[in-house]
Amino acid sequence: MRQLLTILSAVVLLAYPFAVYFGIDRFGFSIVGILLILALGVRLLSVQKTKLKELKYVAQISAVTGISLVGLGLIFKQHGWLTFYPVVVNLCMLVVFASSLKQPQTIIERLARLQDPDLPQSGVDYTRKVTQIWCVFFISNGLFALYTCFHSLQLWTLYNGLISYILAGSLFAIEWIVRQFLLKDRKKK
């Protein structure tokens, strides 16, 4: 049951921009706000067993902030508060990734070591570069998400509900392809 709630809350949060855009017109701001608070609350409770504490903190901070933003929107009866949630998520991710650059192991290296505990130095160097690239992504994505907060809800939804996911997925896919080539070269040596 817990896994089902975790998956359901993740799906709802991925669909957050569409829930805001389509849900408010169809069901009203109060119902959408309450559903978002419930989904964020489930997310907050479901991340307690996350292995990487940094990702747990991101989920907790973004969930609490999301609940606060939705709550403020409900109190002031203004849906504009809800549009800042993607900005907060990008900021949280940036803080986690950037702060890991000051540690002996970056967050990407820790994730890589889950698959390959004996990561060579070249892998360590590579994961550090990938962490830096993700930092640049979170900065630019967060800034554009912020930009969309002050424009039409249609633009906000298009960017935060589609384009940003395509960009993140593309970066992830490109990195995966590059990694496969590097692993292939490493195995040849």
19-30 pLDDT, tens digit each = 888 888 889 889
Distance CA 39, CA 44 (A): 9
Q: What's the CA gap between 99 and 185, in Å, rounded?
A: 30
Could you give the 3-state DSSP secondary structure of residue 145?
helix
Question: What radius of gyration, in Å, describes the C-alpha atoms of the chain?
Answer: 18
Check pLDDT > 80 for residue 51: no
- Band (167; pLDDT cuts 50, 70, 90): very high
Residue 81's pLDDT is 94
- Number of domains the chain is built from: 1
- 73-126, pLDDT tens digit by residue? 999 989 899 999 999 999 989 999 999 999 999 989 988 888 888 888 888 899
Neighbours of 50 (CB within 10 A): 15
Cα(149)–Cα(43) distance, rounded to whole angstroms? Answer: 24
CA 168 to mean position of chain CA atoms: 9
The percent of residues above 70 in pLDDT, for the chain, comes to: 89
Question: Above pLDDT 90, what percent of the chain?
Answer: 48
Mean pLDDT in residue range 131-135: 97
Place of tokens 């820790």: 110
Range of the domain at 60: 2-188
* CA 98 – CA 171 distance, rounded (Å): 17
User: What's residue 15's pLDDT?
Assistant: 82
**Token pair of 111, please?**
């994730």
- Considering the chain, what is the average pLDDT of its residues? 87
DSSP 8-state symbol, 48 = G
- Whether the per-residue pLDDT at 188 is higher than 80: the answer is no
